[in-house]
Amino acid sequence: MLQTVSTLTNLIRAVAALIVASVVGAASWFGYKAFHAQDEQLAVAEQKLQDSLAKIDSLNRDVAAKQQEIVRLNTVVKLLKVDHRVARLTVLDQQADENNVLHTTIRFSEVDAAGNNVGVPHEFRIQGDVAYVDAWVVKFKDELVEEADPLRGTSICIFRRIFGEHQEPKNGFVLDPVGSRPAAYSHGSEMSDLEREIWSRFWDYANDPVMAEKIGARAAHGEAPSMKLRKGKSYRIDLRASGGLGIEPEREPPADRGNAI
């Protein structure tokens, strides 16, 4: 009997020990799984964080690139719209002659960007009160203007003649002789081979697209903007970087700057 009880007790102890071991093992397993599950979650979270940071960095680079492109395009637009002051037309007098024909005395001056006279101003007496300024204009491709090419970074022109509304253009007053260099572009330097070629063969370039393409010109033609002149007023003649000539009145009479007659 005692032996049976002892055996039963030992069995109970063994079962209890087995149960405890199983519980401990299960707890350890669950603890291990929980630990590694947390570790995996941390790894996933870390990977997501790295992916997010990479996306943010990529977006920042994209934004920076777009901002640089916006700055570049704004610069391009400004360059294409730049007006270069190239000449001034000043009305000195307006009077009718004995036949009641109105004549206007004007001073034509080529000027630099600051409005100072370049070269020697010329005075003319035209018939009527509407003046035409005849010029040859070469307009270069926009990409050359955008790149601020030393010569082709803006349209260029040479003034041919000036005449009144009642005069034949062929009888107008000569301004820049054919083959000469416009004073506004001289800056005290020698005329380049390209400039000499352009002005000496202007109409060849105007009529031959292949020739024009070689020098980057998109257009070459004559222009003769006009203005109805008022006594005592002064007018500025501008050349758009990618366009042609324009005439507009100056707000105040100019002070005599530079060379005078």
The pLDDT tens digits for 113-157 are: 777 777 788 999 999 999 999 999 998 887 876 776 666 767 788
Tokens of 212: 């024009």
72 lies in the same domain as 102: no
208 lies in the same domain as 98: yes
The amino acid present at 161, given as its one-letter code, is R
Tokens of 19: 């149960």
32 lies in the same domain as 50: yes
Residue 255 lies in a domain: no
Cα-Cα-Cα-Cα dihedral sign, residues 106, 112, 117, 118: negative
Task: Answer with the residue of higher pLDDT: 161 or 58.
Answer: 161
20 lies in the same domain as 145: no
> Which among 48, 81, 114 is the end of a domain?
81
Please check the confidence at residue 173 and state whether its pLDDT lies above 90: yes
Contact 229, 106 (CB under 8 A): yes
221 lies in the same domain as 135: yes
Tokens of 38: 């947390």
Residues linked to residue 237 through DSSP beta bridges, in sequence order: 87, 247
65 lies in the same domain as 102: no
Phi-psi region of 229 (alpha: psi -120 to 50; beta: other; left: phi over 0): beta
132 lies in the same domain as 12: no
Residue ranges making up the domain that contains 193: 84-249
Task: Give pLDDT, residue 190.
Answer: 67
Phi-psi region of 227 (alpha: psi -120 to 50; beta: other; left: phi over 0): beta
Q: Phi and psi (nearest 5°) for 235?
A: -130, 140
Task: Give pLDDT, residue 49.
Answer: 75
> Which among 33, 60, 81 is the end of a domain?
81
Contacts of 70 (CB under 8 A, 6+ apart): none
> Which among 25, 53, 81 is the end of a domain?
81
- Please classify residue 87 by burial: count the beta carbons closer than 10 Å to its beta carbon, then call 0-12 exposed, 13-18 middle and 19+ buried: buried
5 lies in the same domain as 115: no
191 lies in the same domain as 244: yes
57 lies in the same domain as 136: no
Tokens of 187: 């800056």
Q: What is the reported pTM?
A: 0.62
Residue 257 lies in a domain: no
Task: Answer with the residue of higher pLDDT: 77 or 174.
Answer: 174
231 lies in the same domain as 162: yes
Tokens of 117: 């006279």
76 lies in the same domain as 16: yes
Domains held by the chain: number: 2
Mean pLDDT of the chain: 76
